[in-house]
């Protein structure tokens, strides 16, 4: 243990110890270094008191030593800037207050009882003074931490608060975290606010309703949208009534048709030369100055004032050093709420509307008319919540590990929508629920999953923490329940409607300890911890899909997980280095690995690797990678990770895969080569390897290994201008060889070329019941298709061949 901080004042001496934090500082500065923030900039930030210790009330500091560096004494200090950070996440600190005067008792009065219970007071003895000691692990809680000390001396209670900022080492707290907050606030308003963390909880003064204040704000947010929609209708068609107006005008100002009596009166006055006389004129005209519009104006004015008051109160509270947990995006959102209200008040017709003095009777307009009725009903609920705002104060955030997990969940959702062109079909209100502490939490499992559809028929579900148990259907875990953070399930369009599942687990950790046999350079590259990778293997191995036969009691088991990947806050310039993911090889070889995932200012590079992976798996809905459901299925099954069987077995998608082709030209080839195919004695067939195309060479080889039959076209007996397929040869083996190594028997002629070819070894041919006619003579690539034997037996014309692995052939 080393003494990290020593503070001496007239009231007490405070000492803080921890293990060597040199490694923490290194990681922290490396995090900024990767973002091109030079060390000189870090020093500048430090000089501007970026790293501060706050004292409340102010304290006379006689001595301050931080990490062996002594600072000048300060009187009435309420903030002390230190040169470098010393408080980090997931670090254990030991605190000790030693009191100079005779203190009867000392304790912490934090809102969290767990923190208070971590400290113990020891009375003064002959050999030592009174002291309060305790140990605190910052865990995954970042931001301002306040330790409220209270001690009793001479019957009086003295208070002294010390506050310091706990910094994350794996991300930039002042750029990455606000970006996460903004995304979470947009989809799950107020989820990130917590009740029992390291700041206060509130209820309204004088009213013990027992509600969490931010739930009222969430309800107001829902009411606000209906409220604004009603106001839009009102401003487009404001209610008006015919109202009587009395005016007095001279005879020369009178216009239009006058009443008989008034007309006679005017004539008499003109004859008597009374030209200055004024006459009473009563008119009726439409006016918007109605009781209903006066009510609407009052509602809008009061709503804006209350929200503005609430915003100002939160901004003021957020200035306090121990309460700086609210993001600017959240506070700015409150400001945005006021704009449509102000826009409504700026409508010209409201200038004619006078002050609201109440309703003399029930108004049918407010109860029934479109727009007015919506605002009137919302106001009955809204005025309660607006009253509550005046009793608000701040709350704390959930831990950064929870924040990171939910942000990763939403980032995958954004990739599906923005990059892969899925459309969100989710009922928004089902994603959040209340826990026992009246906090919002995600509705875990597939019951609260996001649901998506795409124009090509693909459907997807994105679930948060679904639980797979021993009794689960159709996927179960036979031994221990499994609960991965994020599950992406994709269902292909009909007719097959197959499902594919990928698991993602958010790990707010970076590898900091080098394993004995590791070759990872953790000083230069961010890696996920080893146990996170091991957990991905566990998920894939533990989850089993059970398929019960409808006509029997038999069941078949399969492994439904196509990949399991950890998500971690590693920093890379992904878009500039698309192939530099340290787990790229493992992802493609075995379907296990990790993706670095962080917000990225000014681009998508923080999630580029993950987005590209999902795009290659599912296409982007724009035919950039795959065209239809069948091709998606084939591209997934042909990958190397999906083809790893148990030893001695094989994995394949089509058990009767057929490759149709024609023989090469006659020129230069031995006549017996063609005769062997005619009489059924051929044992070899070759084609250039370039005939087959695939994303990777291994995927290409996987398709080649799956080919079970060759259907070789020969001259048709019906039409000499075309060829027909009469026989199908079983494939015993295939291998990649150089063209120059092929014999006359194998290829019909010799050729000194280094070109790679696929050489098929053939068994005894099978004869089709009915030949497949109209196979073209040339070019030869038009005769090459991949299909199935069951399909080939159904057709009689080559054009009717149903292709499979259509993207595999050039």
Least confident range of 125-134, 388-397, 578-587: 388-397
pLDDT at 551: 62
Q: Is 334 helix (H, G, I), strand (E, B) or coil?
A: helix
Q: What is the pLDDT of residues 152-187, one digit of tens each?
A: 988 888 989 898 888 888 887 777 888 888 888 888
Q: Residue 230: which pLDDT band, with cuts at 50, 70 and 90?
A: confident
Mean pLDDT value across residues 515-541: 86
- Show me where the domains of the chain are located: 2-169, 213-238+290-394, 400-643, 657-800
Q: How many Å apart are CA 445 and CA 464, to the nearest integer?
A: 6
Asked if pLDDT for residue 657 goes beyond 90, the answer is: yes
pLDDT at 604: 63
pLDDT at 167: 86
pLDDT at 518: 78
Task: With both helix axes pointing from N to C terminus, report the angle between 629-637 and 608-618 in degrees, rounded to the nearest 10.
Answer: 110
Tell me the whole-structure pTM to 2 decimals. Answer: 0.70
Q: What is the pLDDT of residues 106-118, one digit of tens each?
A: 998 876 777 888 9
Mean pLDDT value across residues 305-332: 67
Of the candidates 58, 56, 50, 399, the one whose C-alpha atom is nearest the C-alpha of residue 198 is 399
How does DSSP assign 556-586, residue by residue? Answer: EEE--EEEEEEEE-----TTT-TT--TTHHH
pLDDT at 482: 92
pLDDT at 45: 42
> Which residues contact residue 676 at a Cβ distance below 8 angstroms, ignoring those fewer than 6 apart?
682, 683
Q: Residue 252: which pLDDT band, with cuts at 50, 70 and 90?
A: low
Q: What percent of the chain has pLDDT over 70?
A: 83
Q: How many Å apart are CA 207 and CA 199, to the nearest integer?
A: 21
Asked if pLDDT for residue 391 goes beyond 50, the answer is: no
Number of neighbouring beta carbons within 10 Å of residue 364: 11
* More reliable by pLDDT, 154 or 211: 154
Asked if pLDDT for residue 627 goes beyond 50, the answer is: yes
Query: Residue 476 — φ and ψ, nearest 5°?
Result: -135, 160
Q: Residue 377: which pLDDT band, with cuts at 50, 70 and 90?
A: confident
Two structure tokens written together for 714: 């020969």
Asked if pLDDT for residue 211 goes beyond 50, the answer is: no
Q: Residue 562: which pLDDT band, with cuts at 50, 70 and 90?
A: very high
**In Å, what is the CA distance from 584 to each residue of 25, 179, 581, 609, 610?**
29, 27, 5, 9, 11
Asked if pLDDT for residue 39 goes beyond 50, the answer is: no
**In Å, what is the CA distance from 677 to each residue of 206, 572, 683, 746, 768?**
97, 57, 9, 12, 15
* More reliable by pLDDT, 656 or 291: 656
Q: Is 485 helix (H, G, I), strand (E, B) or coil?
A: coil
Of the candidates 118, 124, 119, the one whose C-alpha atom is nearest the C-alpha of residue 103 is 124
189-203, 318-332, 399-413 — which one is most confidently predicted on average? Answer: 399-413
* More reliable by pLDDT, 679 or 48: 679
Asked if pLDDT for residue 543 goes beyond 60, the answer is: yes
| Mean residue pLDDT across the chain | 81
Residue 726 burial class via C-beta count within 10 angstroms: exposed 0-12, middle 13-18, buried 19 and up: buried
pLDDT at 393: 36
Spatial contact of 298 and 354, defined as CB atoms under 8 Å apart: no
pLDDT at 328: 65
Contacts by 371-377 with C-beta closer than 8 Å and gap 24+? 371/230, 371/231, 371/232, 371/233, 371/234, 371/237, 372/230, 372/234, 372/239, 372/292, 372/296, 373/230, 374/226, 374/227, 374/229, 374/230, 374/233, 375/227, 375/230, 375/231, 375/234, 375/296, 375/299, 376/295
For residue 779, whether the previous peptide bond is cis, meaning omega lies within 30 degrees of 0, is yes
Q: Residue 566: which pLDDT band, with cuts at 50, 70 and 90?
A: very high
Q: Residue 131: which pLDDT band, with cuts at 50, 70 and 90?
A: very high
Q: Is 296 helix (H, G, I), strand (E, B) or coil?
A: helix
Query: Residue 60 — φ and ψ, nearest 5°?
Result: -85, 110
Asked if pLDDT for residue 91 goes beyond 80, the answer is: yes
* More reliable by pLDDT, 196 or 478: 478
pLDDT at 44: 44
pLDDT at 786: 92
Q: How many Å apart are CA 165 and CA 421, to the nearest integer?
A: 41
* More reliable by pLDDT, 742 or 632: 742
Spatial contact of 631 and 601, defined as CB atoms under 8 Å apart: no
pLDDT at 144: 80
396-400, 484-488, 773-777 — which one is most confidently predicted on average? Answer: 484-488
Asked if pLDDT for residue 714 goes beyond 70, the answer is: yes
Two structure tokens written together for 216: 């009222």
Mean pLDDT value across residues 386-409: 68
Helical spans, DSSP H, in 695-805: 697-706, 744-747, 789-792
Q: How many Å apart are CA 576 and CA 585, to the nearest integer?
A: 18
Of the candidates 762, 599, 670, 578, the one whose C-alpha atom is nearest the C-alpha of residue 183 is 599
Least confident range of 6-20, 271-285, 294-308: 271-285
Q: Is 396 helix (H, G, I), strand (E, B) or coil?
A: strand
Mean pLDDT value across residues 23-30: 80
298-307, 548-557, 721-730 — which one is most confidently predicted on average? Answer: 721-730
* More reliable by pLDDT, 189 or 455: 455
pLDDT at 188: 81
How does DSSP assign 599-667, residue by residue? Answer: --TTSSGGGHHHHHHHHHHH--SSSSS--SHHHHHHHHHTSGGGG--STT----S-TTEEEEEE---ST
Mean pLDDT value across residues 410-436: 80
Mean pLDDT value across residues 99-106: 86
- For the CA atoms of 71, 73, 75, 80, the dihedral, rounded to the nearest 10 degrees, stands at 10
- What value, to the nearest 5°, has the Cα angle with vertex 487 and ends 482 and 490? 135
Q: Domain 657-800 adopts which CATH fold?
A: 2.30.130
Least confident range of 441-445, 609-613, 764-768: 441-445
Q: Residue 14: which pLDDT band, with cuts at 50, 70 and 90?
A: very high
Two structure tokens written together for 92: 């254990």
166-180, 471-485, 689-703 — which one is most confidently predicted on average? Answer: 471-485
Q: How many Å apart are CA 681 and CA 699, to the nearest integer?
A: 31
Q: Residue 396: which pLDDT band, with cuts at 50, 70 and 90?
A: low
């Amino acid at each position: 243990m080393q003494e990290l901080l020593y503070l001496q004042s007239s009231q007490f001496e405070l000492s803080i110890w921890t293990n060597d934090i040199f490694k923490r500082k290194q990681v922290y500065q490396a995090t900024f270094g990767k973002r091109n923030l030079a060390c000189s900039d870090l020093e500048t930030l430090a000089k501007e008191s970026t790293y501060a210790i706050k004292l409340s009330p102010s304290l006379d500091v006689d001595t301050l030593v931080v990490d062996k560096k002594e600072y000048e004494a300060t009187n009435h200090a309420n903030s002390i800037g230190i040169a470098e950070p010393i408080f980090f996440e997931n670090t254990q600190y030991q605190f000790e207050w030693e009191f100079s005067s005779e203190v009867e008792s000392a304790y912490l009065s934090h809102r969290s009882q767990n923190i208070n219970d971590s400290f113990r007071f020891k009375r003064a003895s002959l050999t030592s003074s009174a002291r309060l000691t305790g140990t605190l692990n910052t865990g995954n809680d970042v931001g301002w931490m306040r330790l409220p000390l209270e001690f009793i001396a001479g019957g009086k209670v003295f208070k002294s608060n010390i506050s310091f900022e706990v910094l994350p080492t794996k991300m930039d707290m002042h750029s990455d975290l606000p970006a996460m907050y903004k995304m979470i606030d947009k989809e799950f308003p107020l989820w990130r606010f917590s009740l029992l963390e390291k700041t206060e909880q509130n209820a309204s003064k004088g009213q013990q309703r027992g509600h969490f204040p931010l739930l009222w704000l969430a309800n107001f947010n829902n009411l606000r949208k209906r409220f604004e929609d009603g106001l839009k209708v009102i401003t487009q068609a404001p209610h008006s009534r015919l109202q009587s107006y009395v005016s007095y005008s001279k005879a020369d100002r009178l216009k239009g048709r006058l009443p008989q009596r008034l007309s006679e009166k005017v004539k008499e006055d003109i004859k008597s030369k009374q030209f200055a006389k004024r006459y009473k004129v009563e008119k009726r005209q439409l006016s918007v100055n109605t009781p209903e519009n006066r009510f609407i104006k009052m509602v809008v004015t009061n709503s804006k004032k209350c929200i503005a008051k609430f915003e100002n109160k939160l901004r003021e509270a957020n200035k306090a050093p121990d309460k700086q947990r609210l993001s600017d995006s959240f506070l700015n959102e409150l400001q945005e709420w006021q704009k449509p209200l102000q826009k409504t008040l700026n409508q010209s017709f409201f200038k004619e509307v006078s002050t609201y003095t109440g309703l003399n009777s029930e108004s049918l307009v407010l109860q029934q008319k479109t727009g007015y009725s919506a605002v009137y009903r919302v106001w009955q609920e809204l005025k309660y919540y607006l009253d509550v705002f005046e009793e608000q104060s701040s709350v704390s955030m959930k831990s950064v590990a929870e924040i990171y997990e939910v942000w990763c969940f939403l980032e995958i959702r954004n990739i599906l929508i923005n990059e892969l062109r899925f459309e969100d079909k989710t009922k928004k209100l089902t994603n959040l629920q209340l826990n026992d502490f009246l906090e919002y939490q995600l509705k875990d499992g597939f019951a609260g999953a996001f649901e998506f559809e795409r124009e090509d028929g693909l459907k997807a579900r994105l679930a948060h923490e679904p639980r797979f148990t021993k009794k689960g259907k159709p996927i179960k875990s036979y031994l221990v329940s499994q609960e991965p953070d994020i599950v992406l399930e994709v269902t292909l369009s009909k007719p097959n409607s197959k499902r594919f599942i990928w698991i993602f687990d958010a790990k707010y950790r970076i590898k900091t300890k080098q394993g004995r046999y590791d070759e990872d350079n953790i000083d230069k590259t961010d890696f996920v911890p080893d146990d996170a990778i091991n957990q991905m293997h566990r998920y894939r191995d533990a989850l089993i899909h059970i398929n019960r036969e409808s006509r029997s009691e038999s069941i078949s088991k399969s492994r439904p997980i196509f990949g399991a990947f950890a998500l971690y806050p590693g920093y890379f310039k992904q878009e500039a280095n698309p192939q530099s993911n340290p787990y790229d090889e493992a992802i493609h070889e075995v379907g296990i690995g990790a993706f670095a995932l962080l917000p990225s200012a000014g681009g998508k590079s923080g999630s580029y690797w993950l987005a590209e992976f999902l795009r290659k798996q599912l296409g982007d809905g724009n035919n950039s990678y795959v065209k239809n459901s069948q091709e998606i299925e084939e591209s997934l099954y042909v990958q190397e990770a999906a083809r790893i069987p148990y030893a001695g077995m094989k994995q394949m998608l089509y058990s009767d895969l057929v490759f149709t082709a024609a023989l090469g030209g006659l020129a230069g080839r031995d006549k017996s080569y063609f005769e062997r195919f005619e009489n059924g004695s051929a044992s070899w067939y070759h084609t250039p390897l370039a005939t087959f195309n695939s994303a990777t060479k291994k995927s290409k080889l996987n398709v080649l290994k799956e080919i079970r039959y060759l259907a070789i076209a020969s001259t048709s007996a019906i039409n000499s201008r075309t060829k027909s397929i009469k026989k199908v040869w079983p494939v015993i083996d295939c291998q990649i060889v150089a063209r120059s190594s092929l014999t006359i028997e194998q290829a019909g002629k010799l050729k000194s070329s280094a070109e790679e070819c696929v050489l098929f070894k053939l068994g005894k041919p099978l004869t089709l019941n009915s030949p497949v006619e109209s196979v073209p003579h040339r070019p030869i690539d038009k005769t090459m298709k991949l299909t199935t034997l069951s399909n080939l037996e159904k057709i009689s014309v080559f054009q009717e061949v149903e292709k499979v692995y259509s993207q595999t052939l050039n």
